[in-house]
């Protein structure tokens, strides 16, 4: 009986390994570029803890629209949005990366760094660190997950998991410093990315096939980077290997909420 159980266990492992090896994988990449000159980020009013925060007034700005020297747009979220009928196979390396490494938000220089963060709901934990020499209060508001509101002493860190996937990023704020804010997405899968000042993104080892992807940016919410990308969604067939969308060009109008 023991031999039979061992044989069945080994057979199951081999079937799983074979299935993973048979699956083809592709990487999706691209660059979001703002073709117009972005407005100069507005300095935010710092009204508290000036002995500390007053040292960083040049850094404490409205981060809604931030671009790099080449026009790369920062703060774009892009993530895989499977339909209820689709089962997403997770590449072992992707699973390991997101289960062993936490997403991190740091209170640094009286602001949150980074400004946009994503994690795999139910699998990846979030760590919020207070690296400033003053107390902080981290507050995260979600739609489906329970909100958190925690006071952090100097040097503290808070660990939190979000068991349910969200359809859009939630806002991260500080209860002591109203100018501090960031965004957090709890994604259904580990196939997501955010852009920095170069505007580039890369999502590795997506299972080959046709998938829908979602775009979101703080300035406008879901946005159509191209005319046929309705509600900020687009469908793309992921082939084995590299899949490059190239430059995705945007104007300030694309990042302006539509009047109702």
pLDDT at 13 over 60: no
Percent of the chain with pLDDT over 70: 92
Q: Which helix (H) or strand (E) holds 4?
A: helix 2-22
Q: What's the angle, vertex CA 79, arms to CA 74 and CA 68, rounded to 5?
A: 10
Q: What's the angle, vertex CA 61, arms to CA 55 and CA 63, rounded to 5?
A: 140
Distance (Å, whole) CA 42 – CA 104:
26
pLDDT at 260 over 70: no
* Contact (CB, 8 A) for 238 and 211: yes
Distance (Å, whole) CA 116 – CA 75:
6
Write down the architecture of domain 31-255 according to CATH: Sandwich (2.60)
pTM of the model: 0.90
| Average of per-residue pLDDT values in the chain | 92
Beta bridge partners of 202: 29
pLDDT at 9 over 90: no
Distance (Å, whole) CA 240 – CA 238:
7
Res. 63 pLDDT band, cuts 50 70 90: very high
Peptide bond into 114 cis (omega under 30): yes
In the chain, what are the domain boundaries?
Answer: 31-255
pLDDT at 17 over 50: no
* Contact (CB, 8 A) for 92 and 205: no
Q: What's the angle, vertex CA 142, arms to CA 62 and CA 90, rounded to 5?
A: 100
Res. 26 pLDDT band, cuts 50 70 90: very high
Q: List, for residues 106-141, the tens digit of each pLDDT value.
A: 999 999 999 999 999 999 999 999 999 999 999 999
């Amino acid at each position: 009986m023991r031999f039979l159980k061992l044989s069945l266990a080994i057979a199951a492992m081999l079937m799983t390994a074979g299935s993973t090896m048979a699956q083809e994988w592709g990487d999706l990449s691209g660059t979001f570029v703002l073709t117009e000159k972005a407005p100069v980020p507005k300095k935010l009013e710092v009204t508290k803890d000036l002995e500390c925060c007053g040292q960083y007034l040049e850094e404490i700005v409205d981060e809604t629209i931030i671009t790099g020297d080449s026009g790369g747009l920062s703060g774009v979220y892009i993530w895989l949005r499977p339909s209820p009928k689709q089962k997403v196979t997770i590449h072992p390396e992707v699973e390991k990366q997101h289960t062993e490494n936490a997403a991190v938000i740091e209170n640094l220089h009286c602001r949150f760094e980074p400004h946009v963060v994503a994690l795999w709901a139910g699998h990846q934990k979030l760590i919020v660190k207070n690296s400033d020499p003053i107390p902080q209060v981290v507050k995260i508001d979600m739609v489906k997950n329970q909100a958190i509101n925690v006071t952090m002493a100097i040097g503290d860190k808070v660990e939190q998991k979000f068991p349910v996937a969200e359809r859009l990023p939630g806002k991260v704020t500080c209860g002591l410093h109203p100018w501090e804010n960031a965004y957090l997405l709890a994604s259904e899968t580990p196939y997501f990315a955010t852009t920095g000042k170069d505007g580039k993104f890369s999502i590795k080892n997506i299972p080959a096939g046709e998938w829908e992807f979602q775009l979101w940016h703080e300035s406008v919410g879901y946005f159509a980077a191209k005319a046929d990308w309705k509600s900020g969604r687009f469908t793309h067939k992921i082939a084995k290997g590299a899949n490059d969308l190239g430059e995705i060009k945007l104007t300030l109008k694309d990042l302006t909420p539509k009047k109702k």
